[in-house]
Amino acid sequence: MSEKFIFDVPIYRTAKASYNEDQKSYIDECLYDYYDYPEPIRSEVVAFHRENPQSKTRYIDSLQKQYGGPWQFNDIIGYIRLYLDGYQVQGELWYVDVKRVVRKPRHKILICKNAGLGFGRPVDIPPQSSNAEIFNLIMKYLDSVRPRFKNRFIDSSLIETVGPYVNWQSLINGV
């Protein structure tokens, strides 16, 4: 049997809450810090922003972009591509090709970190498994590879949301 692609599970540098907290700290630090400008200048900027809230909003937007933009699409450092290969769940790892993962890389190029399938230990699916059992085995596979990504965030929310409603038996059997 040939493998069937089922999901791409993103791997993030950090969790969303942590990223947003760090971004907010960066914005708060930059907003009125101005690299130790004297107090009269800071007071004028605060007053200007109070009178012109759209200017403050544009400046905050600019600072968000400087920090790295929104978390969901800009902090991804890889994917686990899930496959059903006969009666097995397997994965393929795509990851950034860098020595050190940083917040704002210059160029993000994802490369396949293993030749074909074989990332992590495959999980066998008994032939008479129910849809719920198959879904639980897929989640078991994901849980088994999580320890490889210490201090990283594997976002399995999409498969957790959709997975219980998929007819996994038909997908495996090609019906």
Question: Per residue in 110-119, pLDDT tens?
Answer: 677 765 556 7
Predicted confidence at residue 107, as pLDDT, reads: 63
* Contact between residue 153 and residue 12 where contact means Cβ atoms under 8 Å apart: yes
| Short-list 82, 99, 101, 97, CA closest to 144 | 82
What is the percentage of the chain residues whose pLDDT exceeds 70?
87
pTM: 0.79
E strands, the chain, are 3-12, 76-85, 88-96, 110-112, 119-124, 153-154
- Domain locations along the chain: 3-15+76-173, 17-71
| Short-list 63, 65, 54, CA closest to 29 | 63
Rounded Cα distance, 147 and 136, in Å: 18
3 state DSSP class of 159: helix
Predicted confidence at residue 106, as pLDDT, reads: 66
Backbone angles phi, psi at 123, to 5 degrees: -110, 125
Q: At residue 1, does pLDDT exceed 50?
A: no
Predicted confidence at residue 46, as pLDDT, reads: 76
Mean pLDDT in the chain?
85
Distinct helix (H) and strand (E) counts, the chain = 7, 6
* Contact between residue 138 and residue 9 where contact means Cβ atoms under 8 Å apart: no
Predicted confidence at residue 119, as pLDDT, reads: 78
The DSSP 8-state label assigned to residue 65 in this structure reads H
Give the tens place of pLDDT for each residue, 29-61.
887 665 566 677 777 777 887 888 898 889 889
Q: What 3 state SS string does 13-37 have? A: CCCHHHHHHHHHHHHHHHHHHCCCC
Rounded Cα distance, 98 and 109, in Å: 9
Predicted confidence at residue 68, as pLDDT, reads: 84
